[in-house]
Amino acid sequence: MPAKPFRMSIKESVQLHILDSIKQKLKPNISLVDELAELLEISKDSAYRRIRSEKSLDIKEVQILAKYYNLSLDSILNVDTNVFSFHTQVIGSHGFSFKDYLISILEKLAMISQMDDKVISYSARDLPIFHYFMFSELAAFKISFWRNQIPVPGTLF
């Protein structure tokens, strides 16, 4: 009798997707097992069982991992609801500066540039921020204006 082909369950597929997403975000010197054990407050043996899909991540563990690694559960679960969600940080909160804001834009654009199908839809009262950077004088003026208009204690840069 021929062996049955291996079919991964949806649950295992989602778990592997979560763990793969985390692996991509880990620094090379950090072990996935050590990271899971620490974050989920479990033994290394329990972490290995989750990595091998012998034990499923429970919903609380998924929540902890998604929050810590900034993972979108909609994208992990491949949910297409025509709902757009996004992450934002307020300049001045938790040490997030205007410079950090500009760096985050650069990181997001780099991520988008690697995608096959790229579309950016932008709606605002002002020009997209990237357009200012084509003209150094205009960029300097806008940054100076923003620094004076954004009510944040301390320096923005």
Give pLDDT tens digits for 13-48: 788 889 998 998 888 899 999 999 999 999 999 999
Instruction: Pinpoint the residues of the chain covered by CATH 1.10.260.
Output: 10-76
> How close are the terminal C-alpha atoms of the chain, in Å?
69
| pLDDT grade for 51, boundaries at 50, 70 and 90 | very high
Q: Is 84 helix (H, G, I), strand (E, B) or coil?
A: coil
Mean residue pLDDT of the chain comes to 80
pLDDT surpasses 90 at 89: no
SS3 29: coil
- What CATH number does the domain located at 10-76 have? 1.10.260
pLDDT for the residue 87: 66
At position 133, the amino acid (one-letter code) is: F
Burial class (CB in 10 A: 0-12, 13-18, 19+), 15: buried
54, pLDDT greater than 80: yes
How confident is residue 154, by pLDDT bands cut at 50, 70 and 90?
Answer: low
